[in-house]
Amino acid sequence: MMTKIPESINTIFPNSDVDKEHATRLGQAITPTTAEHPGLSGIHTLADSLDAFAARYLLCGMAEKSLDVQYYIWQDDMSGRLLFSALLSAAERGVKVRLLLDDNNTNGLDDTLRLLNAHPNIEVRLFNPFSFRLFRAIGYLTDFARLNRRMHNKSFTVDGEATIIGGRNVGDAYFGAGEQPLFSDLDVLAVGPVVSEVCQDFERYWHCQSVSTLEKVLEVDEERLHDRVTLPENWKNDPIARRYLDRLTTSQFATHLVSRTLSMYWAKTRLLSDDPRKGQGKARNNTLLPQRLLNVIGQPKQEIDIISAYFVPTRAGVAQILGLVRKGVKVAILTNSLAANDVAPVHAGYARWRKKLLRHGVQLFELKPKYDGRYVPHDRGLTGNSGSSLHAKTFSVDKQQVFIGSFNFDPRSAMLNTEMGFVIESAKLAEDIHSRFTQSQKEAAWALRLDRWGRVNWVENSEGKEIVWKKEPHTRFWQRVLVRLVYRLPVEWLL
């Protein structure tokens, strides 16, 4: 069922004797390089959307022992089905596959999940599952406190040797465009000591009380199952499928990984992940990701660059940011503009603080929409999936440390959803992130500033000329009115 690519995975791997500790060919390929960097993890950035897809697909083909996969969203579209089929093909080879999905975005996938779970080498589990499968809104009415808490984590771990962590979910919205603005999303492939931390964290979630086996959630009727994992007829003629297949054909990811020529940042890397009891509202405050980030990274001394799809600082967050500014720290923030944002209430939670932040010297940049009038992202709801231009969640501190993961700078990530990410101590990676951030400011974002009357202006440079927008660019009157209404309501804790 797995789509064939020109070069077999079996011919990519070198033949070598397998030791007990790293008893896979992938482990044999990675171990010599990690041994050359004791105590450090290798980090390979996956900024390009199609490369991010190819890495996951090709890693499925490399797997020999295990695939532990954890996602907030897995869409039933071309990339979703391709990766489902890759998991199924791995299971057919004897690989043990564990798939952990948040149940908020599995609508329409019940039959597919049944089919996968029926395979003896695949087990599917769901985080905070809905009791009402067809009319899920009823669940929010009867069980809001639990269902409002979601698992936003994303990880893809192969044979306990390599893992992908970052902001992307699985779906064409995250892989398929290939023409997105800079920093639309960011994942990293990691090898080395931090992979064992991800493996241990997956075990915590797999066995936590918020997670249910598929059998406890869905009735399995084998006679009703139909193979929804297979792709539709003539799927290879689909333009989206062609983009995926072309990248799989040309990708040298697997070759470079096993030949030890894949570009890596070697750095001390630490996993930070929420206690899964957060999904029940039972996690202690000192275990939540924001506090642990502060403990690990400490206070910035010179500068901090923040890239967040949803940025809702709240009164307490604004006070912390302005406290840094008063100490001479340069703060720059890149988030979605209203035209690029798919959740208007979340934008309202940011817009209410723009003037105050600008008055105190914080640099604000808003990413332009990527649709150029052809596609308008629609509001998906507070816990829904993102159609925004920007989906990355990362920040760099003093050009020395970088955080890359699932955490948005908003109350939902801080207090409601479970999150995870890497803290990477690499001056080179931090400098590269800063350079790309600076480039995106010039090419893909509006810079915000206050005019003489204290009103927010959006500024861009086009062919050497400065263009100034007095109102939120590329938005309608009713959108701006909605934002103004929402940010006066006491709903910030939900955003």
Q: Please pick, among 152, 278, 368, 474, the residue that the annotation labels catalytic.
A: 152
What span, in angstroms and rounded, lies between the C-alpha atoms of 107 and 115? 15
Nearest to 147 by CA among 130, 163, 132: 130
- 10's tokens: 């079996």
Assigned token pair, 475: 């938005």
In three-state secondary structure terms, 402 is strand
Beta carbons of 167 and 76 less than 8 angstroms apart:
no
CA distance 437 to 447: 12
**Which tokens in the block code for residue 114?**
């049944």
37 noted as active-site residue: no
- Catalytic residue from among 22, 44, 154, 278: 154
Spell out the residues 6+ positions from residue 18 whose beta carbon is closer than 8 angstroms to its own. Answer: 24, 25, 27, 28
Q: Are 128 and 102 in contact (CB under 8 A)?
A: yes
Helix or strand holding residue 53 (H, E): helix 49-62
Catalytic-residue membership of 111: no
Dist CA 294 CA 316 (whole Å): 14
The answer to whether the Cα torsion of 274, 139, 391, 327 is positive or negative is negative
CA distance 240 to 5: 16
Helix (H) or strand (E) holding 249: helix 239-250
Cα–Cα–Cα angle for 392, 387, 430, nearest 5°? 10
- Asked if 159 is an active-site residue, the reply is yes
Residue 119 gets the label, from left (phi > 0), alpha (psi -120 to 50) or beta, of beta
434 assigned to active site = no
Active site residue 216: no
Chain Cα centroid distance, residue 22? 28
Amino acid identity of 212?
A: S
HSE at residue 453, side-chain half, CA atoms within 13 A, is 4
DSSP-assigned beta bridge partners for residue 461: 466
Which one from 391, 399, 410, 474 is the annotated catalytic residue?
391
- Bridge partner list, 409: 311
Give catalytic status of residue 393 as yes or no.
yes
**Which residue type sits at 77?**
D
Cα 423 to Cα 293: distance, rounded to the nearest angstrom: 8
Indicate the burial class of 49 (C-beta count within 10 angstroms; 0-12, 13-18, 19 or more): buried
Which listed residue (22, 347, 368, 393) is catalytic? 393
Q: Which of 159, 172, 185, 187 is catalytic?
A: 159
Contact 447, 334 (CB under 8 A): no
Provide Rg for the chain, Cα atoms.
22
Residue in 356, 398, 432, 434 annotated catalytic:
398
Tracing tokens 């992908």 back to the chain, one arrives at: 164
- Residues annotated as catalytic are 152, 154, 159, 391, 393, 398
